[in-house]
Chain A
Amino acid sequence: MKTQPTSRTALKSTVALPNDCDVVVVRAFNAPRELVFDAWTRPALVQRWLLGPPGWTMPVCEMDVRPGGKYRWRWRSEADGKEFGFSGEFREVVRPSRIVHVERYDSGDVGGTMGEALVTSELIENDGVTTHTMTIHYESQEVRDAAVKTGMTDGMEMGYQRLDELLAEQRG
């Protein structure tokens, strides 16, 4: 099947729970996959978009992108200075198609638990559109659900309230 050029408005991420242990996030981008790969692996670029809800910045973004290389990400709330982060190491790095890394949550001032996850990112390019599929694998359903819940409810609630406002504005 030939892929039709994707219009801007059609770019919407999907999140699925295909089994008990995984979360799968899929999104298409109007860009070649080398660029998408760069945006995921160059710290100066990652810091510009991987920020979560409004009001959060990413003051720490250190990444040694190669098999066995470590990374450290840390976010900070502008409103109250609270921080949390992720760290881990890369298992596989195949430019520009595949990154596998281990992710550990550092609850900082925010709290919550997430356990450990194995994150596999795959980039497939078709007619200038890159589809990014990210599979976040947890050791059990309990760990997975606690992780997504932590991300959603505990620490970033203020940000999400603003997010809801923003979405309401967009809906008009």
Chain B
Amino acid sequence: MNAVDRLNATFLALADPTRRAILARLALGEASVTELAEPFDMSQPAISKHLKMLERAGLVSRGRDAQRRPCRLEAQALEAAFVWLERYRQLWDMNFTRLDSLLDELQATNKVSKRRSKKTAKRS
């Protein structure tokens, strides 16, 4: 999976309240599918389906213990989503830095034209 597909998968995985709740639970520590299913009014297969999406997005990994296969939060995939937001912010900041210069220029021009119109008013 390339970086863009991975990011797609991350955001798709985050676009669901159940999956976000699963991540919040896993932030507290590892849990089995049974443990994760408990607080939700959902069958284990339904929870497993959500977990598959989270795994595909790299947000969750499963332990090797064949019986329990505990789920673990993989926080670095979330970090990729934050980096993405930071780049979006930087894009706007580039525009706004140019806008700062433009506003300075407009204010300087306004001051000059005001001074000029005052002088003209005095003369007449």
Q: Would A49 and B7 count as touching, CB distance under 8 A?
A: no
A152 at the interface (CB under 8 A from B): yes
Q: Say yes or no: is A85 at the interface (Cβ < 8 Å to chain B).
A: no
Please measure, in the bound complex, the distance between the C-alpha atom of A31 and the C-alpha atom of B14, giving whole angstroms: 39
B89 touches A13 (CB 8 A): yes
Main secondary structure of the interface of B (DSSP, over half): helix
* Interface assignment of A94: CB less than 8 Å from any CB of chain B: no
Hey, what's the 0/1 contact readout for A46-60 against B, CB within 8 Å counting as 1?
001111111000000
Chain A contact residue count (CB 8 A cutoff): 39
Given A38-B106, A48-B98, A13 and B92 contact (CB-CB distance below 8 Å):
yes
Write the chain A residue with the least CB distance to B105.
A48
The number of residues on chain B lying at the interface, defined by a beta carbon within 8 Å of a beta carbon of chain A, is 30
Is B88 within 8 A of A148, CB to CB? yes
Please tell me if B124 contacts chain A, counting CB pairs below 8 Å: no
In the bound complex, how far is the Cα of B100 from the Cα of A127, in angstroms?
Answer: 17
Q: Is the CB of A145 within 8 A of B94?
A: no
With a cutoff of 8 Å between Cβ atoms, the chain B residues found around residue A50 in the complex are 95
Contact of A48 among B89, B90, B93, B102 (CB under 8 A): B102
| B4 within 8 A of partner (CB) | yes
Q: Bits for B1-28, please: 1 = Cβ < 8 Å to A, else 0.
A: 0011001100110110000000000000
Residue A36 lies at the interface, judged by CB distance under 8 Å to chain B:
yes
A146: shortest Cβ distance to chain B, in Å? Answer: 8
Q: List chain B positions with a Cβ less than 8 A from chain A.
A: 3-4, 7-8, 11-12, 14-15, 84-85, 87-96, 98-104, 106-107, 110
State the A residues within 8 Å of B (CB).
8, 11-15, 17, 20, 23, 25, 27, 29-31, 35-36, 38-39, 45, 48-54, 141-142, 145-146, 148-149, 151-154, 160, 163, 167
Q: Which 9 A-B residue pairs are closest in the complex by CB-CB distance?
A: A49-B98, A31-B103, A145-B11, A15-B89, A49-B99, A141-B15, A13-B93, A27-B96, A13-B92
